[in-house]
Amino acid sequence: MSKDIRIKKGLDIKLVGEAEKTTTSVSRSSVYAVKPEDFHGIIPKLIAKEGAVVKAGGALFHSKSDERILFASPVSGKVVEVIRGARRKVLAMKIAADSEQVYEDFGTKNADAMSAEEVKNYLFTAGCWPFIKQRPYDVVANPNQAPKAIFISGYASAPLAADLEYTLAGKEAELQAAITAVTKLTEGKVHVSVGANSNSPLSKLKGVEIHKVSGPHPSGNVSTQIAQIDPINKGEVVWVVTPQDLVVIGELFLTGKFNLERTIALTGSKFNKPQYVTAIAGAAISDLTNNNLNNDNTRIINGNVLSGKQVKEEGFLSYSDNQITAIPEGDDYEFFGWNKPIFNKISTSRALTFSWLNPKKKYDLNTNTNGEHRAFVVTGSYENVFPLDIYPMQLLKAFMYKDLDEMEALGGYEIAPEDFALTEFICVSKQPHQNIIREGLDLMREELG
């Protein structure tokens, strides 16, 4: 029995720079980097020291809390540099890629014939465990807990998100192999969501419950879908995998190789030609954006404009994202910007802002905050873009004053920082909602486990 999900509350932020459906492959980078911060909550213990030679899929580091959880190198080559920050925290490991890629051979497997434990161990060894995230807390899944269900959102509703129908085309076999494997990991169901009229490869998967999703962003956020299908209660755990990571898992089962090559959308107004490219995770940003980026006062983002991370052109592609966004920086003053009528920015109010006149228009927004940080004043606006059955402002305040009982009671187990991206976007007081939520979730994880 599948359940359709219709979301009414939310906001589609329409921006210029949607990726055109053509894919080019870019030249291979000479150096790749893996950043432990891409896996929130993981403290890395190095396995491959500086100078070590690794194959693609070879372990670079493991999690301090569970040494079975390995993190694999996206390419074969030599570890040339371990960049450390304050208190010797590992910020990035750089690997100089071989000209010919050599893959670690983990051996092909038929997930159908495997037990849950065998599937787990296989994913551990091949460095595929970090693709499985858990709720609560939005961190890499703890393999010692049993999830009540596994959720895969195949509907991307974020601004300028990569079209999964396009990027996953032709990956049916990999997806099915991965699904067969992950269904072993839970006693419960595996829920896959697709767009209402989608013809995505995901909609043909077997052994899962398919849900058709419609409505504005954040309908594609997995928390929104979990809340509609099977909400998380205290003491329960669900696991979450993204479709692009499923492809990697699937390919592992079919070929025995760990291959992080994926199709990535280059989006945003600062790309001369927004389009798709294929690249290996950890690649240098400059190689991807080569000759395509207008790099004059530009913000480059790993991911989307709402929840992505800022990255420099000298930086590297993140481990899991399938999108790079480039938008103009907004570091300029605007004369009487607080009271003049505004036509070129998005607003959910009508306070002399006129985006309501033309809901289809695409905007070229920059990174200006459009105002200064203030205490919470306006009420009732977050609720209009927040589809979960949670009081967003009350939860944010509980997360700020860090009352663990309230954080738990108001729904802290059901959320991830990305769920508060839209409320942060429309916040008149310019409060950092996602940071507040992230810090609060980390505290809950520490104190409540």
Partner 1 sequence: MSLKQNLHNLKEKYKGTKMAPAFNAIHTFLYLPNEVTHGGTHIKAADDLKRTMNIVIMALIPCLLFGMFNAGYQHYAAIDGSLRTDVLANFFTWDNLWIGIIKVLPLVIVSYAVGLIVEFIFAVIKGHEVEEGYLVTGMLVPLIVPVDTPLWMLSVAVVFGVVIGKEVFGGTGMNILNPALTIRAFLFFAYPTWMSGDKVWVHDAVNRVGTPDAISGETILGSYAQNQEVIYSNWDKFMGFIPGSVGETSTLLILLGAAFLIFTKVGSWRIIVSTFIGAAVMGLIFNQIVAADVITESSKFYGLMNTVWYEHLMIGGLAFGAVYMATDPVTASQTNKGKWIYGFLIGFISIMIRVFNPAYPEGVFLAILLMNVFAPTIDHYVVQGNVKKRLKRTKVKTA
Identify which of residues 166 and 354 has a Cβ nearer to partner 1 in the complex: 354
Give the nearer residue to partner 1 in terms of CB position, either 84 or 338.
338
- Contacts for 137 with CB less than 8 Å, ≥ 6 apart: 41, 441, 442, 444, 445
DSSP state of 10: -
Vertex 19, ends 246 and 33: CA angle to 5°?
Answer: 55
Identify whether the C-beta of residue 311 lies closer than 8 Å to the C-beta of residue 302: yes
Minimum CB–partner distance for residue 25 and partner 1 (Å):
27
Residue 308 or 440: which CB sits closer to partner 1?
Answer: 308
- Closest CB to partner 1 among 199 and 338? 338
How far apart CA 68 and CA 71 sit, in angstroms, is 10
What is the torsional sign of CA 121, 129, 322, 221? positive
Q: How far is the CB of 91 from partner 1 (least distance, A)?
A: 16
**Nearest approach, Cβ of 234 to partner 1 (angstroms)?**
5
Looking at the Cβ atoms of 25 and 435, the one nearer to partner 1 is: 435
Q: 59 vs 422, which CB is nearer to partner 1?
A: 422
CA distances from 320 to 131, 137, 201, 387 (A): 8, 18, 20, 26
Answer yes or no: are the C-beta atoms of 269 and 248 closer than 8 Å: no
- Residue 14 or residue 212: which is nearer to partner 1 going by CB? 14
- Nearer to partner 1 by Cβ, of 95 and 301: the residue is 301
Q: Do the Cβ atoms of 153 and 226 come closer than 8 Å?
A: no
Distance from C-alpha of 394 to C-alpha of 25, rounded to nearest angstrom: 47
Nearest distance from C-beta of residue 232 to partner 1, angstroms: 10
Instruction: Write the DSSP symbol of residue 79.
Output: E
Shortest reach from residue 17's CB to partner 1, in Å: 12
* Of residues 417, 352, 439, 438, the one with CA closest to residue 222: 417
Nearer to partner 1, 57 or 136 (CB): 136
Q: Which is nearer to partner 1, 55 or 299 (CB)?
A: 299
222 CB-near residues (< 8 Å, 6+ apart) = 135, 151, 152, 153, 240, 416
Q: How far is the CB of 265 from partner 1 (least distance, A)?
A: 16
- Residue 425 is which amino acid? F
10 Å CB burial of residue 118 (0-12, 13-18, 19+) is middle
- The crossing angle, in degrees rounded to 10, of helices 392-401 and 433-448 is 60
Q: Which two tokens stand for residue 266?
A: 């280059």
Residue 209 contacts residue 128 (beta carbons within 8 Å): no
Nearer to partner 1, 165 or 424 (CB): 424
Q: In angstroms, what is the C-alpha Rg of the chain?
A: 21
Count of C-beta atoms within a 10 Å radius of residue 101: 17
CB of 370 to partner 1, least distance (A): 5
Nearer Cβ to partner 1, position 112 or 329? 329
Q: In the complex, what is the shortest distance from the CB of residue 355 to partner 1, in angstroms, rounded to a whole number?
A: 8
DSSP 25: E
Amino acid identity, position 65? S
- The distance of closest approach from Cβ of residue 26 to partner 1 in the complex, given in angstroms and rounded to an integer, is 23
Q: Which two tokens stand for residue 256?
A: 């025995």
Q: Record the tokens describing residue 39, joined without a space.
A: 């896996």
Q: How far is the CB of 248 from partner 1 (least distance, A)?
A: 27
Shortest separation between residue 93's beta carbon and partner 1, angstroms: 23
Instruction: Return the DSSP state at 275.
Output: E
Q: What are phi and psi of 247, to 5 degrees?
A: -60, -40
CB of 43 to partner 1, least distance (A): 21
180, amino acid identity: T
